[in-house]
Amino acid sequence: MENDFDANVLNWYRQYAHEKSENDDHTSPNFLTRIDENDISKFESEFGNIIPDLYIKFLIFAGDGRIRRDIHGNFNEFNDNSFLNTTEISEILRKNSAEWDVYPDFIADNEIPFFYISANAVLVFRKNEGSKVYHPHLDVIYAENFGEFLRKLMNNINFYTEL
């Protein structure tokens, strides 16, 4: 499962996917925007191939954006629950984002943010550890791989708060 997705899980996310040309209505609880491979290439030319392949595939197939309602209709009203795009990840890695002004140790040098929870909190991948999902600076594993993270989030929009 490390190199692939459960098709049913991925298709659940894909139903919320939109093209870049479609405007976000800012009212839908789930809204994703597909990115194109040029965005990936631009990121990789600066940072190398540090984002796990599963996340790259997800960004192209489903996209970045928010998921605030799970498959059971439960809604997360307190958190942003946003998958970050390569531009947002770049800003954080360059330490150009506002989070660094608030938290000088926002993420470690070996961490790649991909999911914005809220209030300057993210979940991260770690370089050379596949697509395991962590909270910055902690060794608690939220999911053994990104596919498992997607499945957990789809089934329980608040699962990461219950660990």
- CATH H-level superfamily of 7-161: SMI1/KNR4-like (3.40.1580.10)
- Say which range, 32-46, 47-61, 91-105, 114-128, has the weakest mean pLDDT: 91-105
Confidence of residue 9 (pLDDT cuts 50, 70, 90): very high
Q: What is the mean pLDDT of residues 76-90?
A: 95
**Per-residue pLDDT at 1:** 42
112: nearest Cα among 157, 59, 152? 59
- Say which range, 38-42, 77-81, 94-98, 154-158, has the weakest mean pLDDT: 94-98
CA pair distance 23, 68, nearest whole angstrom:
18
pLDDT tens per residue, range 92-118: 999 988 887 777 788 999 999 999 999
128: nearest Cα among 40, 51, 22, 29? 51
112: nearest Cα among 152, 52, 69, 162? 52
pLDDT tens per residue, range 109-152: 999 999 999 988 999 999 999 999 999 999 999 999 999 999 99
Q: Where are the domains of the chain?
A: 7-161
Residue 29 has pLDDT above 50, yes or no: yes
Share the mean pLDDT of the chain: 93
**Per-residue pLDDT at 103:** 74
CA pair distance 9, 129, nearest whole angstrom:
23
pTM for the full model? Answer: 0.93
Q: How many residues in the chain?
A: 163
**Per-residue pLDDT at 2:** 54
**Per-residue pLDDT at 115:** 97
